[in-house]
Structure 1
């Protein structure tokens, strides 16, 4: 009876891994390709990621965290790749310090250009509100006085402008957040972020 149950568990885990592979392998491959020197290396690392996923699946307590857990494994695989070859591998100029790059990717600065373009495309009242508060660092009261509206009107305008930018970004890109809600990685689903980051 125990052997039969173990075989059923192994079969379920194998099927689960196949579903994960189908759903995520293309995105993980793209994520790796952006950080290593060639596609053959990316394929090798992709295989290693899914080997580790298989080996550690039982450690995942919350299935809702599956995607971020797999990206965490992917980062570790990439870091291990550079650590193991550091002595004989010439690091590409774009990855001058790969260990730091992958542990704390500065995605906020990468997105800054795209966000500014989105702000510039907002209707004038919203564009003005965000530029004054985010770039000129005016507080909401100063914004209200400068544009001649009430404080509650200024707050409302800023909130609506931020929501428009957030909606544009979420429609354009996929974001990965840490447990504090900070963006730790993203990849574009269309072209809005490409022009600024390439």
Structure 2
């Protein structure tokens, strides 16, 4: 299959995907062009024609992630783009990572309060107050490795609570770039 044939078959659906993630039509066109260029540059690395469609969608998703990451680094807000956290048809998307974290900070507290008292106290101390795990372990009279295990267990419990409420979109590094509540009335957000 040639690039022209691939583009003729998939460009419309890729453009719809981009339109669901990016509001500005000019940005959508630029990103679609970027997807075409990357497709042309990277198609030789594709193993098997049966993987073409998922490969194209992954490539497009990564282009969107890179777009928002670049914009976040520049701290540039475009007037015609929704502000961080505004509702879009596909969920909530963030242009600026610190803003996303700040907005979700209010969501975290009710979920932490939903954990058992020990787990909640650990997460408040380590993740919210920024206390050292080593210092906290000494203060509590437990070994450092024991405390690390407890913190990881508490984080897993917290993540499970979040995932019960919202589907989260993460970039390839695990950073939150957007989310979609499973129900209209999310109990925290």
Identify the TM-score tier after normalising by the shorter chain: 0.5 to 0.7
SS in 2 for 1:154: helix
1:139 equivalenced with 2:121 (yes/no): no
Gaps of 5+ in 1: 34-41, 83-90, 96-100
The structure 1 residue matched to 2:5, chosen from 1, 6, 11, is 11
Task: Give the alignment's TM-score, normalised by structure 2.
Answer: 0.58
Superposed displacement of residue 174, structure 1:
2.7
Superposed displacement of residue 158, structure 1:
0.5
The number of residue pairs the alignment matches comes to 160
Superposed displacement of residue 72, structure 1:
3.6
Superposed displacement of residue 111, structure 1:
1.7
Gaps of 5+ in 2: 46-54, 84-93
CA RMSD of aligned residues (A): 4.3
SS in 2 for 1:134: helix
Q: Flag the structure with more relative contact order, 1 or 2, with Cα contacts below 8 A and sequence separation at least 6.
A: 2
**Mapping for residues 15-164 of structure 1, pairs under 5 Å:** 15-21=9-15, 24-25=17-18, 28-29=19-20, 31-33=21-23, 42=24, 44-45=25-26, 48=29, 51-53=32-34, 55-56=36-37, 57-60=39-42, 63=55, 64-73=58-67, 82=78, 91=79, 102=95, 104-106=96-98, 107-147=100-140, 149-164=142-157
Q: Distance in 2 between matches of 1:75 and 1:138?
A: 28
Q: Which has the larger radius of gyration?
A: 1
| Higher percent of residues as helix | 1
Task: Give the alignment's TM-score, normalised by structure 1.
Answer: 0.56
